[in-house]
Amino acid sequence: MEFIADFHVHSKYSRATSKDMDVENISRWAGLKGITLMGTGDFTHHLWLEELKNKLEPEDNGLFIYKGIHFILTAEISSIYSKGGRGYRIHNLIFAPSFKTVDKINGVLGGIGNIASDGRPILGLDAEELARIVFDIDENCMIVPGHIWTPWFSLFGSMSGFDKIEDCFEKQAEKIFALETGLSSDPSMNWRLSGLDRFSLVSNSDSHSPQKIGREANVFDCQISYGAIRDALKNKDKSKFLYTIEFFPEEGKYHYDGHRACGIRFSPKQTKASNNKCPKCGKSVTVGVMNRVEQLADRPEGFIPDKSIPFKRVVPLDEIIAESKGLGRASKAVGQEYHNIILKFKTEHNVLLKATEKEIKQNISPRIAEGILRMRSGKVKLLAGYDGEYGIVSVFDDDEKAGKGEEQLSLF
């Protein structure tokens, strides 16, 4: 059975997260997006764990269900620690096959640090030791390093990470078989590192609000069970792990280098020319994902490994609608149009990936339909994100902004 999975989200108990990130709203929006399997996120938080235990029904296969949406138990740990005289800040996702296993993990982690104050707890725990603890409790758990290129909090981050996964996880590295690419990179960027060839590259929304669920996700064709998903990832099975759904990486907050306080956005070449300094204030720029990949890559751009899992890029439907109408994404008119389209196509991912061109043109207003088709063909304009500032993806040129009329669109 083909299905879409989004493993990495946060609950209402995480900082800077919507109060609507509860089981009901996560399930509702997963349905609208076309997501069959959701990560619970935040299983280390006692109040969220209690809610999960009360509302999710076990399926006897390592997964749980709520109103037709399947759930897999996940959490994210922020490890901040020193190793070899240097400080590191690494985020790791933990997948667990049962509440029994979760309770054991929480029991140990709760003795190390405070896991009650935030849905994504911060622990002074070496990533290798975290992995050892988790795998000693249950060898069927999975650890997936999160958003591995983000500058400040990740495995390969320019400001706080390692150059090799083996340097981070040491003896535990062989037990890790999947990596999360993050919003600011896509699989093709990761393919430039031969050392990552053995890993399955997963993509998730890392959503802090219901509307952003599924903005990146994974498409499988296997049994919907913990074991089948784990096997598909561990074996990097292209017949079962079909493809990932991706942002245009330029839209991510750390794709380019720069200094947001001064409005400086740099390509890697510009950063090198400026000696890594902001030309306005003289402070060091934040080195972004594209630059960091370039530093570690041992292959040219465009290289495709033999066993790579393919991917498809999308722009969220509400972004396309908002640009088509010249309105903000949060406006009432955009929300109404979004739900009108979903009523016709059942899910957002049906609109973005599955519906035929004829179906789109017949059921969606011409301007929005044109935006969707341009997105599919990659006819977009990109302004890369940098230093915590999201990038901008546009499906219309400046002279085609809303209000210019439908006629000129037919000439594209």
User: What rounded mean pLDDT belongs to the chain?
Assistant: 96
Segment 188-211, tens digit of pLDDT: 999 999 999 999 999 999 999 999
Q: What mean pLDDT is predicted for residues 329-347?
A: 98
Q: Are residues 41 and 176 in the same domain?
A: yes
Domain containing residue 150: CATH number: 3.20.20.140
Q: Are residues 187 and 52 in the same domain?
A: yes
Residue 303 lies in a domain: no
Q: What mean pLDDT is predicted for residues 131-155?
A: 99
Among residues of the chain, what percentage have pLDDT more than 90? Answer: 96
Q: Which of 211, 229, 251 is the last residue of a domain?
A: 251
Q: Are residues 246 and 320 in the same domain?
A: no
Q: Are residues 120 and 199 in the same domain?
A: yes
Chain center to CA of 292:
18
| The predicted structure's pLDDT at residue 407 | 33
Identify the band that residue 403 occupies on the pLDDT scale cut at 50, 70 and 90. low
| Structural contact between residues 222 and 228, judged by C-beta atoms closer than 8 angstroms | yes
One-letter amino acid at 60 equals D
Q: How many domains does the chain have?
A: 2
Q: Are residues 327 and 247 in the same domain?
A: no
Residue 275 lies in a domain: no
Residue 156 lies in a domain: yes
Q: Which of 196, 224, 251 is the last residue of a domain?
A: 251
- Determine the Cα–Cα distance for residues 116 and 46; give it in Å rounded to an integer: 6
Q: What mean pLDDT is predicted for residues 339-361?
A: 98
- Determine the Cα–Cα distance for residues 1 and 222; give it in Å rounded to an integer: 6
One-letter amino acid at 38 equals M
Q: Are residues 19 and 127 in the same domain?
A: yes
Residue 257 lies in a domain: no
The 3 state secondary structure assigned to the chain is CEEEEECCECCCCCCCCCCCCCHHHHHHHHHHHCCCEEECCCCCCHHHHHHHHHHCEECCCCCEEECCEEEEEEEEEEEEEEECCEEEEEEEEEEECCHHHHHHHHHHHHCCCCCCCCCCCEECCCHHHHHHHHHHHCCCCEEEECCCCCCCCCCCCCCCCCCCHHHHHHHHHHHCCEEECCCCCCHHHHCCCHHHCCCEEECCCCECCHHHCCCCEEEEECCCCHHHHHHHHHCCCCCCEEEEEECCHHHCCCCEEEEHHHCEEECHHHHHHCCCECCCCCCECECCHHHHHHHHCCCCCCCCCCCCCCEEECCCHHHHHHHHHCCCCCCHHHHHHHHHHHHHHCCHHHHHHHCCHHHHHHHCCHHHHHHHHHHHHCCCEEECCECCECCEEECCCHHHCCCCCCHHHHHC
Residue 340 lies in a domain: yes
- Determine the Cα–Cα distance for residues 174 and 118; give it in Å rounded to an integer: 30
Segment 71-103, tens digit of pLDDT: 999 999 999 999 999 999 999 999 999 999 999
Q: Locate 356 and state its tokens.
A: 């035929």
Residue 256 lies in a domain: no
Integer CA distances (angstroms), 3 to 67, 136, 158, in order:
16, 31, 34
Q: Which of 251, 266, 283 is the last residue of a domain?
A: 251
Q: Are residues 204 and 342 in the same domain?
A: no
Is the pLDDT confidence value at 411 over 50?
no
| Structural contact between residues 171 and 128, judged by C-beta atoms closer than 8 angstroms | yes
Is the pLDDT confidence value at 406 over 90?
no
Question: Structural domain of residue 331, as residue ranges?
Answer: 316-411
Q: Are residues 208 and 72 in the same domain?
A: yes
Q: What mean pLDDT is predicted for residues 113-135?
A: 99
The sign of the dihedral angle between the CA atoms of 373, 377, 381, 385 is positive
Residue 264 lies in a domain: no
Residue 283 lies in a domain: no
| Structural contact between residues 107 and 138, judged by C-beta atoms closer than 8 angstroms | no
